Amino acid sequence: MCGVVGYIGKNNAVPVLLSGLSKLEYRGYDSAGIAVYNNGEINICKTRGRIDDLRNKLLSAPISGNLGIGHTRWATHGVPSDENAHPHFNQDSKIAVVHNGIIENYLVIKEELEAKGYKFLSETDTESVAHLLDFYYEKEGMDILDAVFKVIERIEGSYALGIICSDFPDQLIAVRKDSPLVVGLGKGENFIASDMPAILNYTRDTYLIDDNEVVVLKTDSVTVLDSNKNEVKKEVFRVDWDVEAAEKSGYDHFMLKEIYEQPKVVKENLSRRFKEDGTGVQLDSIALGKKELENINRIYICACGTAYYAGLIGKYLIERIARIPVNSEVASEFRYKDPLIDEHTLMVVVSQSGETADTLAAMRLAKSKGARVLGIVNAIGSSIAREADDVLYTLAGPEIAVASTKAFTAQVVAMYLLTIHIAQELGVLDTEKFKELKSDMEKLPSLVNEILTKAPRIKRFMHKYINSKNVFYIGRGLDYVVSQEGSLKLKEIAYLHSEPYAAGELKHGPIALIEESTLVIGVVTQEELFEKTVSNLVEVKARGARILAIAMEGNKEIEKVADDVFYIPRTHWMLAPLLANIPQQLFAYYVALGLGNDVDKPRNLAKSVTVE
Ligand code: AGP
């Protein structure tokens, strides 16, 4: 939930660290800091607040040097404060540490060190690493690298660590376990970062660091060691994203830019996955053919948050079209419920970041019990992508806004493709039906565009409904899943209390909450369920609710009950969720903006949840 960066080279580390941190701010943004070596000592500048606050602090107390580490924090242990901000020093300020992750046994270590006379200045778990290093290096007289190995023997939990020591101004040490870390390979300079965008301005050549690896970076070399201190030969991974992909490119917010990128994202996913002869789909090199699928009697789709809703769409589709039972599960629950898994289970995990701690743990659990794992992942080279048996990349490019938009849309496309693949392999979707579906899918990019041109209409809805205190999202079937995603988006960035309900459930309790002017957003794109949901809307209308409906073009009946209607273009029922979600994204965006919220960095959240 934090971002770490590091630099060693011939240039001043400070601008490199600040630029890297600003690209990682999506990972956490309640405090930030850097530590830079210069002339025999390490200077730290850190503050509660954002990278801009750190920049301002540096203006009044500038530091510089060719070696440094930096951090942007999402508080776990201790409130956001100057003291708890990283980097953290050891006792004599010779060693500085930045950390992303959680040291689970830090209290034991802290107690042990306090008994030895160590004084802790922060409430963080990370400070125990700095003092433990101090103990092995200063007190036990170990070499600094041996001290690092000793520390990682002792600490439990997840960590990407950046470490510098003023006795070794020619090296930066980094360690990874269960928290993302990449190394950027420059010419006469090298970098570490929690994510690629932080280093893309400087290099596209990277090493993807694996768990339990320790990296020693010098100006002209990078050495990667395994847990036995043996050198690991890493392959250079070249990043082929545009640098602009991680820039706002003239949009007011990353979220808006990412919403507008969706036609391109859908097109990219489809054009790469339809077979040239038009008879089916090709899912990269995924080895899930007829033989493997016939061996499977249960599918789990596991994920968190928005990715979970994409997975839920997959469940509806695979069950309805491919006729295999699918359990769609929230990863944080799944991992602790002793699920029924064996070698006849297919585990599908869905994740934008590929680093979400619960999703990763659910995946590892399934794997350890013999399941075959398919990762549907956006971040290339991420932990899930590397550990899954098969990977289907969602090709959305970097998603920076905390609220997921284009990644969700790409995940939904992946669910369409996976459903088609499974159904075709099992012989339950004939070529004619596939061709019809393909033709409808190929229209999606222009249909998404068509919706985006109607953004001003959604902005008008915002003005009308912005003062709503409680919002209900209701729908049936796939519309219910879309409702859940819409409600999450509104909570996340507009901070409005909203509840998604299966429309048929309202009368079993929640309808008691409907009062004069409660906003109910009715998603009614599934034509076979249209009348049923409309009846539920009539019921809430009778109790004073205002209704904003999202319906399929042509279903004008909805106008008799709804105060306002947003029509999505006509499409295949299976594709409607992708389209129906776009106005919901825009609605949440405009409401958040209208309320003066920080759209890209909503309060209390971070983009990548790498802790439990
Ligand atoms: C989406 O808007 C949220 N920020 C969040 O629910 C997110 O989808 C979830 O944390 C899962 O992240 P992942 O896709 O990176 O695994």
In this prediction, residue 609 has a pLDDT band, given cuts at 50, 70 and 90, of confident
> Is pLDDT above 90 for 381?
no
Q: Is 352 in the pocket of ligand 1 (CB under 6 A)?
A: yes
Say how many residues make up the chain: 612
What's the mean pLDDT in 553-567? 97
What's the mean pLDDT in 519-534? 96
From 609, 610, 611, mutation site for ligand 1 pocket: most ligand atoms within 8 A of C-beta: 609
> Is pLDDT above 80 for 605?
yes
Please check whether residue 331 is in contact with residue 355, taking contact to mean a CB–CB distance below 8 angstroms: no
Please check whether residue 134 is in contact with residue 90, taking contact to mean a CB–CB distance below 8 angstroms: yes
Please check whether residue 328 is in contact with residue 308, taking contact to mean a CB–CB distance below 8 angstroms: yes
Sorted by where each starts, the structural domains of the chain and their CATH numbers stand as: 3-240 (3.60.20.10), 247-442 (3.40.50.10490), 454-594 (3.40.50.10490)
161 DSSP β-pair partners: 99, 175
In this prediction, residue 89 has a pLDDT band, given cuts at 50, 70 and 90, of very high
Residue type for position 105: N
Q: Is 356 in the pocket of ligand 1 (CB under 6 A)?
A: yes
Handedness of CA 272, 274, 277, 280 (dihedral sign): positive
> Is pLDDT above 80 for 241?
no
Average pLDDT, the chain: 95
Catalytic residues: 2, 607
CA triple 221-223-226, angle to 5 deg: 175
> Is pLDDT above 90 for 345?
yes
Alpha-carbon separation of residue 386 from 15, 362, 465, 541 (angstroms): 32, 15, 44, 50
Tokens (6 digits) for 23: 């690209």
Which pLDDT score is estimated for 74?
86
Q: Cα of 99 to ligand 1 centre, how many Å?
A: 21
Which pLDDT score is estimated for 501?
97
Closest alpha carbon to 32 in 65, 3, 64: 3
> Is pLDDT above 80 for 104?
yes
In this prediction, residue 342 has a pLDDT band, given cuts at 50, 70 and 90, of very high
Q: Comparing 179 with 36, which gets the higher pLDDT?
A: 36
Q: Is 484 in the pocket of ligand 1 (CB under 6 A)?
A: no
Please check whether residue 387 is in contact with residue 367, taking contact to mean a CB–CB distance below 8 angstroms: yes
Largest distance between two CA atoms of the chain: 80
Which pLDDT score is estimated for 20?
96
What's the mean pLDDT in 553-575? 97
In this prediction, residue 481 has a pLDDT band, given cuts at 50, 70 and 90, of very high
The residue whose CA has the least distance to atom 9 of ligand 1 is 305
Angle formed by the axes of helices 406-425 and 305-317, to 10°?
A: 30
Nearest atom within ligand 1 for CA of residue 605:
4
Which pLDDT tens digit goes with each residue over 37-61? 999 999 999 999 999 999 999 999 9
Residue listed under structure tokens 């776009």: 582
Q: Cα of 350 to ligand 1 centre, how many Å?
A: 10
Which pLDDT score is estimated for 392?
96
Q: Cα of 603 to ligand 1 centre, how many Å?
A: 15
Nearest atom within ligand 1 for CA of residue 356:
16
In this prediction, residue 162 has a pLDDT band, given cuts at 50, 70 and 90, of very high
Q: What is the DSSP letter of 338?
A: -
Please check whether residue 395 is in contact with residue 411, taking contact to mean a CB–CB distance below 8 angstroms: no
Q: What three-state secondary structure class fits 342? A: coil
Closest alpha carbon to 403 in 245, 252, 601: 601
CA torsion angle 152 157 159 163 (round to 10): -40
Closest alpha carbon to 579 in 559, 541, 550: 550
373 DSSP β-pair partners: 347
* Strands 345-351, 372-377: pairing kind: parallel
Q: Comparing 123 with 609, which gets the higher pLDDT?
A: 123
Please check whether residue 146 is in contact with residue 130, taking contact to mean a CB–CB distance below 8 angstroms: no
For 220-245, the three-class secondary structure string (H helix, E strand, C coil) is CCEEEECCCCCECCCCCEECCCCHHH
In this prediction, residue 537 has a pLDDT band, given cuts at 50, 70 and 90, of very high
What's the mean pLDDT in 362-367? 97
Q: Is 382 in the pocket of ligand 1 (CB under 6 A)?
A: no
Alpha-carbon separation of residue 578 from 148, 357, 453, 583 (angstroms): 48, 27, 16, 10
> Is pLDDT above 90 for 247?
no
Q: What is the DSSP letter of 515?
A: -
What's the mean pLDDT in 110-135? 96
Number of other CB atoms surrounding residue 287 within 10 Å: 11
Percent of the chain with pLDDT over 90: 91
Q: What three-state secondary structure class fits 519? A: strand
Angle formed by the axes of helices 13-24 and 51-60, to 10°?
A: 160
Q: Cα of 336 to ligand 1 centre, how many Å?
A: 20
Q: Is the peptide bond before 87 cis (omega within 30 degrees of 0)?
A: yes
- Stretch (H or E) spanning 411: helix 406-425
Nearest atom within ligand 1 for CA of residue 408:
8
Q: Is 255 in the pocket of ligand 1 (CB under 6 A)?
A: no
Q: Cα of 57 to ligand 1 centre, how many Å?
A: 32
Q: Is 609 in the pocket of ligand 1 (CB under 6 A)?
A: yes
What's the mean pLDDT in 470-490? 97
Which pLDDT score is estimated for 329?
96
What's the mean pLDDT in 444-449? 98
> Is pLDDT above 90 for 187?
yes
Q: Cα of 601 to ligand 1 centre, how many Å?
A: 13
Instruction: Provide CB contacts within 8 A for 204, sequence distance 6+.
Output: 238, 239, 240
Which pLDDT score is estimated for 125?
94
Q: Is 376 in the pocket of ligand 1 (CB under 6 A)?
A: no
For residues 341 and 438, give the distance between their C-alpha atoms in angstroms, rounded to a whole number.
Answer: 33
Lowest-pLDDT range of 193-197, 573-577, 579-583: 193-197
Q: Is 306 in the pocket of ligand 1 (CB under 6 A)?
A: yes
The residue whose CA has the least distance to atom 7 of ligand 1 is 305
The residue whose CA has the least distance to atom 8 of ligand 1 is 306
Q: Is 610 in the pocket of ligand 1 (CB under 6 A)?
A: no
Q: What three-state secondary structure class fits 601? A: coil
Residue listed under structure tokens 């101004």: 169
> Is pLDDT above 90 for 580?
yes
From 404, 409, 487, 589, mutation site for ligand 1 pocket: most ligand atoms within 8 A of C-beta: 404
Q: Cα of 115 to ligand 1 centre, how many Å?
A: 41
Number of other CB atoms surrounding residue 507 within 10 Å: 12
What's the mean pLDDT in 559-563? 97
Q: Is 366 in the pocket of ligand 1 (CB under 6 A)?
A: no
Please check whether residue 232 is in contact with residue 209, taking contact to mean a CB–CB distance below 8 angstroms: no
Please check whether residue 67 is in contact with residue 7, taking contact to mean a CB–CB distance below 8 angstroms: yes
Q: Is 405 in the pocket of ligand 1 (CB under 6 A)?
A: no
> Is pLDDT above 80 for 486?
yes
HSE at residue 200, side-chain half, CA atoms within 13 A, is 16
For residues 296 and 187, give the distance between their C-alpha atoms in angstroms, rounded to a whole number.
Answer: 49
Closest alpha carbon to 208 in 219, 224, 197, 221: 224
Please check whether residue 512 is in contact with residue 470, taking contact to mean a CB–CB distance below 8 angstroms: no
Which pLDDT tens digit goes with each residue over 499-508? 999 999 999 9
